[in-house]
Amino acid sequence: MHIQEQAIDSLAQVDYPYVFPFFAQNVVRKGFDLPYPVGISFNYYQHNMGVLVDELALGINESPLMPVAFFEFNEITDKVRAMSGRLDLWLFPFFNIYGVVGQLAIDADVTIAAPFPLETKVDMDGLTYGGGGVFAFGLQQFWTTVDGNIVWNDLDAYNEAVKARTLSFRLGRTFGIVKNDRLQVWLGAMYQNVDSEVIGKYLLSDIVSEDMYAIFADYQNSEWYNDLDPTEQAFVDGLIATIQQGDPTTELNYQVHQHPEDDWHMLAGAQYEVSKRWFIQVEGGFLGSRTSILSNINYRFPL
């Protein structure tokens, strides 16, 4: 939402012909040029994010989960890629609501530091879906938005969908380019809060490869094994025996409490308004362990 100074007089005489957004007539007659209220966009999003593990419990097949505090993680990086569609509506001139659904893929690089060194990679696929709202305010060529949403990530390695909540702020400016073409640029910040508890399972064969078996050779004489209490040793004995059997149907069940290494990151983006109906947007995220890129193409129409 922004003001085109050269069109204020003509806009003030216009009767707004559409149903949405509500109260648009009053806003248009004050000189504001509103976008078409309904938008359909197709988005590509990816990010890399560091994850910290607070607690971990493991179990094999039907065995009960056991806390394994003796596992220490050196580094976990989630690499997320998502393709999604989004439908949005300007309900009021200052408030937009939207829903989103798409496909999600996560590659997690996991480095275990103790009780034994191990690097592995876990792949997950599934659906992402949710919705949110945007408050927008503009003054001449400047504008600001506040965007809040809730998204559920339903992955094949999770027993139930994990909820992620985000809140972002953007401050930008609109520039006239040629004719009716316009460019918007902005800076902002985003906060993300993800459910800390995740429960799920993997096939053990997807995590442990044959070149890892050397790690477990003569493990009962290792220092790390003898530092465990008898209950922990019994669990490790059972886990390693199962790994060495190499049954491809064996399931590793887990319950993990984790959180992002960085809750906040910065945003910088731009949107090119090709016409009243077509928009192209790119936005990057940066700061700390989290980097991201978002690109989309948006088509808008009146209602």
Q: Give me the pLDDT at residue 3, please.
A: 44
Q: Is residue 186 part of a domain?
A: yes
Q: Give me the pLDDT at residue 14, please.
A: 65
* Of 68, 64, 109, residue with least CA distance to 224: 68
- The contacts of residue 224 (CB under 8 Å, 6+ apart) are 70, 114, 115, 116
The pTM (predicted TM-score) of the whole model is: 0.87
CB 75 within 8 A of CB 111: yes
DSSP bridge partners of 145 = 136, 170
pLDDT > 50? residue 127: yes
- The contacts of residue 44 (CB under 8 Å, 6+ apart) are 81, 82, 83, 294, 295, 296
pLDDT in tens, 229-262: 898 888 888 888 888 887 888 888 999 999 899 9
Q: Is residue 232 part of a domain?
A: yes
In the chain the first and final C-alpha atoms are separated, in Å, by 17
In this structure, what CATH number is given to the domain that contains residue 222? 2.40.128
Give Dmax over CA atoms of the chain in angstroms: 87
Q: Give me the pLDDT at residue 150, please.
A: 97
- The contacts of residue 207 (CB under 8 Å, 6+ apart) are 120, 122, 252
Q: Is residue 75 part of a domain?
A: yes
pLDDT > 60? residue 175: yes
Q: Sorting pLDDT into bands at 50, 70 and 90, what band is 219?
A: confident
CB 265 within 8 A of CB 239: no
Can you give the three-state secondary structure of the chain, one letter per residue? CEECHHHHHHHCCCCCCCCCCCCHHHHHCCCEECCCCEEEEEEEEEEEEEEEEEEEEEEECCCCCEECCCCEEEEEEEEEEEEEEEEEEEEECCEEEEEEEEEEEEEEEEEEEECCCEEEEEEEEEEEEEEEEEEEEEECCEEEEEEEEEEEEEECCECCCEEEEEEEEEEEEEEECCCCCEEEEEEEEEEEEECCEEEEEEEHHHHCCHHHHHHHCCHHHCHHHHCCCHHHHHHHHHHHHHHHHCCCCCEEEEEEEEEECCCEEEEEEEEEECCCCEEEEEEEEECCCCEEEEEEEEEEECC
Q: Sorting pLDDT into bands at 50, 70 and 90, what band is 154?
A: very high
Rounded Cα distance between 122 and 116, Å, is: 18
pLDDT > 80? residue 35: yes
CB 148 within 8 A of CB 132: yes
Of residues 4 and 233, more confidently modeled:
233
Question: Rounded to the nearest 5 degrees, what angle is found at the Cα of 199, between the Cα atoms of 72 and 86?
Answer: 115
Q: Give me the pLDDT at residue 76, please.
A: 87
Q: Is residue 12 part of a domain?
A: no
Average pLDDT taken over every residue of the chain: 88
Q: Which of 12-16, 18-22, 195-199, 292-296 has the highest mean pLDDT?
A: 292-296
Q: Sorting pLDDT into bands at 50, 70 and 90, what band is 10?
A: low
CB 90 within 8 A of CB 21: yes
Mean pLDDT is lowest, of 20-24, 117-121, 261-265, 282-286, for 117-121
Domains identified in the chain, total number: 1
pLDDT > 80? residue 171: yes
Both tokens of 129, joined, read 């879906």
pLDDT > 80? residue 226: yes
Q: Which domain range does residue 96 map to?
A: 36-301
Q: Is residue 24 part of a domain?
A: no
Rounded Cα distance between 84 and 86, Å, is: 7
Q: Give me the pLDDT at residue 82, please.
A: 97
Q: Is residue 49 part of a domain?
A: yes
Q: Is residue 294 part of a domain?
A: yes
Q: Is residue 7 part of a domain?
A: no
CB 166 within 8 A of CB 149: yes
